């Protein structure tokens, strides 16, 4: 464990505090499971990743906050921790396999992943529209459809082609980290960047879990996708990275509160 400590008083400027606290949180989250905010009788605050039991911090008698920094990695990548899913009841559940195979092959995407995402996005309904305006089988937002040259998102072939392009782009964007790519499809790549991994949004975390569960339990060995699902496009070559700064905002807030 890296020993990182910082001494702060209530007289420090908020700007300096924010800079130091966010730097500490970023630099230690990968290496330490806990960060401690301690205070002495004069109001001085100590931020450290070493507990006062093991450190030389006798005068800091009050523990203001203990924050655990868990990885944003949700699962181990083996498939065993994603849970199982039931097959779709849709009569269209296999109707688009040929489009999925073709688009997946053109853009180097795992077709089983695409089908798991389609199941989760639209339940194989080509006319699906979300309350926020997402359209079609893989629920492309209008701006995303334009970005990937989809002129008619209600056309299954065009929609699937645009979705494959987007997934391929996300996989490159996140260095083949599957969970991050899936999260980016749901919440936007900017939010994955902002939180350094899967955003802490309930909807997005549930979405990632559902997609990966359906991938492993329903589609990875789907015979209808077998012509390409066992090639190097599969998830076996992808990674399941971790986040180092997803808790920065909470950590900085705790530091501000401690110094009030």
Are residues 178 and 56 both part of a single domain? no
Q: What is the dihedral of CA 110, 228, 75, 174, to 10 degrees?
A: -30
Instruction: Provide DSSP, 41-91.
Output: TT--EEEESS-TTTSS-TT--EEEEEEE---S--S-SSSTTS---PPP--T
| Residue 109 included in any domain | yes
Residue 236 or residue 213, greater confidence: 213
| Residue 91 included in any domain | no
Compute how many other C-beta atoms are within 10 angstroms of the C-beta atom of residue 185.
Answer: 26
**158 contacts 150 by C-beta, under 8 angstroms:** yes
Confidence band for 192, pLDDT divided at 50, 70 and 90: very high
Read off the pTM: 0.63
**112 contacts 224 by C-beta, under 8 angstroms:** no
CA pair distance 66, 87, nearest whole angstrom: 43
Integer angstrom CA distances of residue 56 from 29, 49, 65: 22, 12, 18
Are residues 206 and 101 both part of a single domain? yes
Domain that holds residue 32: 5-71+245-259
| Residue 111 included in any domain | yes
**Average pLDDT for the chain:** 77
| Residue 165 included in any domain | yes
| Residue 89 included in any domain | no
CA angle 226, 231, 232 (to 5 degrees): 150
Confidence band for 236, pLDDT divided at 50, 70 and 90: low
CA pair distance 66, 89, nearest whole angstrom: 47
Q: What is the pLDDT of residue 90?
A: 81
Q: Which of 18-22, 25-29, 53-57, 180-184 has the highest mean pLDDT?
A: 180-184
Of the candidates 73, 82, 96, which has an alpha carbon nearest to the alpha carbon of residue 211? 82
Are residues 113 and 227 both part of a single domain? yes
Q: What is the pLDDT of residue 40?
A: 77
Residue 18 or residue 143, greater confidence: 143
Domain count, the chain: 2
CA pair distance 117, 83, nearest whole angstrom: 16
Compute how many other C-beta atoms are within 10 angstroms of the C-beta atom of residue 252.
Answer: 19
| Distance, C-alpha 82 to centroid of its chain | 14
Q: What is the pLDDT of residue 57?
A: 59
Q: What is the pLDDT of residue 116?
A: 97
Are residues 156 and 178 both part of a single domain? yes
Q: Which of 41, 58, 121, 179 is catalytic?
A: 121
Confidence band for 17, pLDDT divided at 50, 70 and 90: very low
Confidence band for 77, pLDDT divided at 50, 70 and 90: low
Are residues 250 and 149 both part of a single domain? no
Are residues 125 and 67 both part of a single domain? no
Are residues 174 and 58 both part of a single domain? no
3-state secondary structure of 31: coil
- Find the range with the poorest average confidence among 49-63, 82-96, 153-167, 210-224: 49-63
**CATH code: domain of residue 212:** 1.10.530.10
- Find the range with the poorest average confidence among 49-63, 64-78, 90-104, 243-257: 243-257
CA pair distance 110, 105, nearest whole angstrom: 8
Q: What is the pLDDT of residue 42?
A: 79
Strands 34-39 and 62-68: antiparallel
Please say if 121 is a catalytic residue: yes
For 110-161, write each residue's pLDDT tens digit.
999 999 999 999 999 999 999 999 999 999 999 999 999 999 999 999 999 9
Are residues 116 and 26 both part of a single domain? no
């Amino acid at each position: 464990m890296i020993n990182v400590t910082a001494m702060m008083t209530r007289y420090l400027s908020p700007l300096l505090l924010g800079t130091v606290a966010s730097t500490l949180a970023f630099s230690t989250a990968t290496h330490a499971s806990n960060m401690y905010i301690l205070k002495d009788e004069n109001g001085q605050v100590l931020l450290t990743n070493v507990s006062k039991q093991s450190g030389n911090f006798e005068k800091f008698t009050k523990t203001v906050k203990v924050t655990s920094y868990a990885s944003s990695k949700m699962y181990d990548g083996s498939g065993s921790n994603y849970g199982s899913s039931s097959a779709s009841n849709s009569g269209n559940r296999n109707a688009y396999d040929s489009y999925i195979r073709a688009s997946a092959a053109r853009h180097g995407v795992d077709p089983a992943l695409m089908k798991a995402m389609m199941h989760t996005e639209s339940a194989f309904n080509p006319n699906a529209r979300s309350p926020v305006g997402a359209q079609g089988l893989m629920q492309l937002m209008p701006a995303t459809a334009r970005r990937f040259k989809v002129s008619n998102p209600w056309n299954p072939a065009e929609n699937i082609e645009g979705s494959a392009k987007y997934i391929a782009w996300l996989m490159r964007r996140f260095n083949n980290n599957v969970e991050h790519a899936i999260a980016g499809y749901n919440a936007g790549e900017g939010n994955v960047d902002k939180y350094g991994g899967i955003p802490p949004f309930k909807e997005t975390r549930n979405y990632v879990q559902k997609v990966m569960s359906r991938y492993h339990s329903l589609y990875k060995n789907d015979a209808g996708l077998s012509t390409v699902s066992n090639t190097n496009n599969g998830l076996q070559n992808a990674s399941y990275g971790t986040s180092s700064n997803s808790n920065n905002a909470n950590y900085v807030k705790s530091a501000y509160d401690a110094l009030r």
